[in-house]
């Protein structure tokens, strides 16, 4: 399932291989977010061309619309969305706890407003796993209680206890033998609660471990401190998944701490705001300096966008809110992120990851 291939000599970065029912993915691995089954402005064919092996979708939203019956009639989620690669499905717990959806939480589950018709609804750990079993994703995630970063220690302790209980219930009802099941540790910024959460979940022997409740508003120094603290408690032979990371610097920082798997809508969301990633730093296509730029976004980039279009043309598309502008910038950012993972894997293999990471961090500091 997961094979550790190499440890970097100068950091905790590691190279691995994650075997799924529909894909074999090299780690470190970045997954574009296909919340409702599609990545915004990028097709599944294009995702494959970009070097994507695995994506992540939201099982909670898919169960509401189009509904499990529609997916089942297509033969499962892979057939329904036209994707032959790997798929993780999140429980949707993070979205449910957003203020516009959330009604209440108890040990039994989460009460919320259906985001499509505002009807009252409820999701339990058992229902979440049943949904993900039915969708047929390669990896299912347990339902967890995600406390906001500013909650008190007492409130976070309740979330940890509830997350552990829900994880047990998820494990008990998980029945899709072709599907892996990952646990999610919680604990906020409190090290003792994080340790308690990870150790309790280790006892349930999940196929992988996610570190949840980060990148939700806490300072980056706290995020890295907590992620790094959790890593040694996760068994070495299990993939380590830091949820919600997508900025180039954050990804390399987490890899240096020992993380293997990531997901985020950050690359495509930034593209829709005119921000593009390059190995020389971040660029803002909304700025007038690009109005007459005849060079590509990144002269070292081999993506379709950089090979065919000038930064002046892309600036024009973005300024006029032309949809192809969002599409091209999304394509480039996803290509860059997959190339970043490829370069990171090569650097780990050659024991030069820290040099690679420091070089990119320096470039991004200069481009602020």
pLDDT, one tens digit per residue, over 2-60 is 999 999 999 999 999 999 999 999 999 999 999 999 999 999 999 999 999 999 999 99
Instruction: Judge whether residue 117 has pLDDT over 90.
Output: no
Q: Are residues 227 and 256 in the same domain?
A: yes
Q: Is 55 helix (H, G, I), strand (E, B) or coil?
A: strand
pTM of the predicted model as reported, rounded to 2 decimal places: 0.97
Q: Are residues 308 and 335 in the same domain?
A: yes
List the CATH number of the domain containing 121: 3.20.20.105
Domain of residue 302: give its range: 267-368
Alpha-carbon span 300 to 293, nearest angstrom: 16
Written in H, E and C, the secondary structure of 88-142 is EEECCHHHHCCCCCEEEEECCEEEEECCCCCCEEEECHHHHHHHHHHHCCCEEEC
Q: Are residues 148 and 83 in the same domain?
A: yes
Q: Are residues 272 and 260 in the same domain?
A: no
Which tokens belong to 237? 């032979």
Could you give the angle at the alpha carbon of 245 between the alpha carbons of 241 and 248, nearest 5°? 120
Instruction: Judge whether residue 205 has pLDDT over 90.
Output: yes
CB atoms within 10 A of CB 221: 8
Q: Are residues 128 and 254 in the same domain?
A: yes
Q: Are residues 101 and 195 in the same domain?
A: yes
Pick the closest to residue 247 from 281, 274, 272 (CA basis). Answer: 281
State which H helix or E strand residue 68 sits in.
helix 68-73
Average pLDDT over residues 131-146: 97
Alpha-carbon span 358 to 368, nearest angstrom: 16
Q: What is the dihedral of CA 218, 239, 83, 56, to 10 degrees?
A: -20
Identify whether the C-beta of residue 334 lies closer than 8 Å to the C-beta of residue 47. yes
Identify whether the C-beta of residue 63 lies closer than 8 Å to the C-beta of residue 89. no
Alpha-carbon span 333 to 52, nearest angstrom: 12
Q: Which of 211, 239, 264 is the last residue of a domain?
A: 264
Q: Are residues 190 and 294 in the same domain?
A: no
**Beta bridge pairs of residue 242:** 211, 262
pLDDT tens, residue by residue, 233-284 = 999 999 999 999 999 999 999 999 999 999 999 999 999 999 999 999 999 9
Q: How many domains, in total, are found in the chain?
A: 2
In percent, the amount of the chain with pLDDT more than 70 equals 99
Q: Are residues 241 and 294 in the same domain?
A: no
Pick the closest to residue 133 from 185, 77, 81 (CA basis). Answer: 77
Q: Are residues 275 and 215 in the same domain?
A: no
Q: Are residues 22 and 154 in the same domain?
A: yes
Q: Are residues 89 and 152 in the same domain?
A: yes
Which tokens belong to 203? 């006892």
DSSP 1: -
Average pLDDT over residues 163-182: 98
What DSSP string describes 296-351?
A: -S-TT--SHHHHH--HHHHHHHHHTT-HHHHHHHHHHHHHHHHHHHHHHHHHHHTT
Q: Which of 216, 238, 264 is the last residue of a domain?
A: 264
Write b or e for each residue in 28-48: b if 16 or more Cβ atoms lie within 10 A of its Cβ, otherwise e.
Answer: bbbbbbbbebbbbbbebebbe
**248-257 and 353-366 are packed helices; what angle lies between their axes, rounded to 10 degrees?**
150
pLDDT of residue 327: 97
| Positions marked active-site | 90, 263
Identify whether the C-beta of residue 200 lies closer than 8 Å to the C-beta of residue 142. no
pLDDT of residue 266: 97
Q: Which of 237, 264, 291 is the last residue of a domain?
A: 264
Q: Are residues 26 and 174 in the same domain?
A: yes
Length of the chain: 368
Alpha-carbon span 100 to 113, nearest angstrom: 8
């Amino acid at each position: 399932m997961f094979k550790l291939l190499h440890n970097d000599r100068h950091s905790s970065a590691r190279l691995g291989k994650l075997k799924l029912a529909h894909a074999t993915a090299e780690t470190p691995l970045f997954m574009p977010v296909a919340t409702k089954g599609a990545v915004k402005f990028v097709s599944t064919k294009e995702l494959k061309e970009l070097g994507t092996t695995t994506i992540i979708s939201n099982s909670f939203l898919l169960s509401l619309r189009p509904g499990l019956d529609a997916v089942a009639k297509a033969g499962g989620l892979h057939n329904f969305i036209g994707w032959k690669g790997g798929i993780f499905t999140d429980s949707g717990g993070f979205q449910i706890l957003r203020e516009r959806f959330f009604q209440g939480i108890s040990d039994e589950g989460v009460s919320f407003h259906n985001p499509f018709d505002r009807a009252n609804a409820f999701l339990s750990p058992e229902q979440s796993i049943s949904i993900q079993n039915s969708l047929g994703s390669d990896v299912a995630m347990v339902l967890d209680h995600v406390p906001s970063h500013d909650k008190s220690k007492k409130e976070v302790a309740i979330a940890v206890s509830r997350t552990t209980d829900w994880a047990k219930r998820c494990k008990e009802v998980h029945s899709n033998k072709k599907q892996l099941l990952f646990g999610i540790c919680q604990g906020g910024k409190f090290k003792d609660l994080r340790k308690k959460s990870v150790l309790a979940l280790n006892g349930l022997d999940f196929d992988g471990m996610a570190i949840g409740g980060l990148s939700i508003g806490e300072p980056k120094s706290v995020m890295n401190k907590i992620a790094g603290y959790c890593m040694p408690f996760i068994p070495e032979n299990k993939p380590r998944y830091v949820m919600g990371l997508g900025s180039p610097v954050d990804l390399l920082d987490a890899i240096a701490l020992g993380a293997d798997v990531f997901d985020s809508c950050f690359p495509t969301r930034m593209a829709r705001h005119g921000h593009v990633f390059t190995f020389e730093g971040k660029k803002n296509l909304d700025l007038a300096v690009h109005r007459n730029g005849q060079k590509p976004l990144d002269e070292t980039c081999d993506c379709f966008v950089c090979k065919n279009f000038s930064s002046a043309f892309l600036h024009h598309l973005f300024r006029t809110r032309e949809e192809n502008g969002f599409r091209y910038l999304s394509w480039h950012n996803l290509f860059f992120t997959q190339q970043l993972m490829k370069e990171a894997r090569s650097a780990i293999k050659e024991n030069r990851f820290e040099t690679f990471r420091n070089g990119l961090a320096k470039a991004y500091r200069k481009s602020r």
